[in-house]
Structures are given as C-alpha cells and as structure tokens.
Amino acid sequence: MKNISIIVPVYNAENTIEKTIKSVLKNKRNDIELILVIDGSTDNSLKICTKMKELDNRIKIIVQENKGTLCARLTGINNATGKYLMFLDADDEYLDNVFDKMENIIQKYSPDLIKFRYKKDEYEQYKYFENDEVFIRKEDFIQMVYPMFLERFQLNAMWNCCIKKDIFKKLAITPHKIKYGEDLMMNLEIFTNINSAVFLNDIYYYYYTNTNSVTQARNNKAKWIKNLQDAVEVYSSLFYYLKIWKMDTIENIRIVRERLEKEINVIIEILK
C-alpha cells in the first residue's frame, strides 16, 4: 500500500501532460503512486503517458471512454492504493516538497484533510488564516470552515488538498457528466463528512491558464448552455448544505442566492 495516490484526469492534454507528470516524479519518494486516467483522449496523451510509465513504475494508467473530470476522478479513487489521495489537473504542476510536507502533517495530526494554497501567474491565493498551520476539529467548522463556501472561494478546488481515502466511502457522489462546478460539488460532500482538517498557508500548486482552451470554450455555445445547467444544479445544492450544517439563516440564504445569480450571469454574458 502506498501512502499517497495522486490522481490526474487526462483529456487531450498532449501539450502539457509530460510537464505535469514530471512535477510529481521529480520527488523520489517510493510511497507515492501516480494514477493517470485517460478520459477518452483522442490526441497523443496516452502515448506520452505510456512512454513515461516505462521510465517510472510509480505510474498507473487507466483508460476509459470520455465521462468528464468528476467520473475520471472517481475511477482513480476506486483504483488507488494510497491511504491519502491528491488530485492534479493535466495542465498544472506541483511545487517542490509538497509530498514531504503532506507526510509531515499526516504524521503530526493524522487529519482527514489537508488544504494548501496555490499560485497562478503573478497571483498568489490569499491566506486561509493568520497562522501558517491551523488544525481544526469538526465542532469548529461552523465558525471557521463552512463560511468559506459562502463568500470566499478557496474551498472550491479539489486540486490543492490531500484527503484520507476512507472519507470517500462516506460520500454521496454518483458518477455523472457534470463538468462545471464538479469540484465544488465534491468539496461540499467532503467537508460535510470529515472530522478534522489542517489549513496551510504554504503554496504547493501552480495553476496554469490554458488560453487556447478558454478561447475554444467561449466559442462553444452548446457547451456553455450545458455549463449553465450544471451551475444551477451545483450551486443550488448550497441551500441543501446550509440546512445540513444548521446555517440556513436568512442572511446565509441571501448570500448563496447572490452567488448563484453571479455564476448564472457570468455564463449568460459568455452566451451573448
């Protein structure tokens, strides 16, 4: 059994996947595995991944028909042997020492989840808390964690965290083709079911903006109509979680409604 499994959904990522894989393999730890889920790619992604697997036996490749990022991650989870799971997008990179730091935190706290920061070009995600390392138990989530889902968006992403694999056995997430907001949907379930979390102000993830992908997506009206449907489904679920968390006050409902409206308006502007 490995200590950490890193899951990467791969869809037509021939221009970036080698760089992404190298950001993991440059760490020489033998207690990690890299799971590459080829999600119906039609380019040379599989060929590149296979070539790199021949050079490093820590790589595992799974090929499936295109089902979307959420389903690809669930496939990776079902095939992972690590005690903890991490998620990496096929065009991004981990920064140095991320796995050593995760191991240090796991040994110190044995938390259900570890959250760290990311950077994007010149932007650095703002800090979670004043202290650089904060351990939080379930009883303090209402005051310290859940409010981040309402007004601040640091908890939306799956790719800047490390999560106990056993947590996923508790989650009510079924495979389906949601492609807009799938990270938020998973995080709402995860943070509802975990009992502890560590928040780090260290930056270990580099998020790249794929300008070609963004341009192509903006020209695909059918895709954005589907995104609109996904956004309504995913962001509306926040109302459900407010009730579960016993935070369904009038003010919080207003905040969630405004956030949903904002997401819808962004997509409508793209469709114009």
* Tens digits of residue pLDDT in 144-197: 999 999 876 678 899 999 999 999 988 877 666 677 788 888 899 999 999 999
For the residues 243-268, what does the mean pLDDT come to?
A: 90
> Is the pLDDT confidence value at 209 over 80?
no
Check residue 214 and give its pLDDT. Answer: 44
Check residue 54 and give its pLDDT. Answer: 96
Check residue 211 and give its pLDDT. Answer: 54
Residues 82-124: pLDDT tens digits?
Answer: 999 999 999 999 999 999 999 999 999 999 999 999 999 888 9
The DSSP annotation for the chain comes to --SEEEEEEESS-TTTHHHHHHHHHTS--SSEEEEEEEES--SSHHHHHHHHHTT-TTEEEEEE----HHHHHHHHHHH---SEEEE--TT-EEPTTHHHHHHHHHHHH--SEEEEEEEETTEEPPPSSSSSEEEEEGGGHHHHTTTHHHH--TTS-STTEEEEGGGGGG---------SSHHHHHHHHHHHH-SEEEEEEEEEEEPPP-HHHHHHHHT-HHHHHHHHHHHHHHHHHHHHHHHHTT---HHHHHHHHHHHHHHHHHHHHHH-
Check residue 47 and give its pLDDT. Answer: 97
At 217, the pLDDT band (50, 70, 90 cuts) reads low
pTM for the complete prediction? 0.91
Check residue 17 and give its pLDDT. Answer: 97
Check residue 210 and give its pLDDT. Answer: 66
> Is the pLDDT confidence value at 216 over 60?
no
Q: Which residues contact 47 (CB under 8 A, 6 or more apart)?
A: none
With beta carbons less than 8 A apart as the criterion, state whether 192 and 247 touch: no
At 219, the pLDDT band (50, 70, 90 cuts) reads low
> Is the pLDDT confidence value at 38 over 70?
yes
| Surface-to-core class of residue 73, CB atoms within 10 Å of its CB (0-12 exposed, 13-18 middle, 19+ buried) | buried
Dihedral pair phi/psi, residue 252, rounded to 5°: -70, -35
Q: Calculate the CA 17 to chain-centre distance.
A: 17
Return the DSSP state at 29: -
Average pLDDT, the chain: 90
Of residues 171 and 241, which shows the higher confidence score? 241
Cα–Cα distance, 118 to 153 (Å, whole number) = 13
Check residue 177 and give its pLDDT. Answer: 64
| Helix 182-193 and helix 69-79, axial crossing angle in degrees, nearest 10 | 40
Residue of 40, 148, 149, 15 whose CA lies nearest to 91: 15
**What tokens appear for 259 in the block?**
């956030």
Residues 118-149: pLDDT tens digits?
Answer: 999 888 998 999 999 999 999 999 999 999 99
Of residues 154 and 60, which shows the higher confidence score? 60
Check residue 215 and give its pLDDT. Answer: 44
Q: Name the percent of the chain lying above pLDDT 90.
A: 67
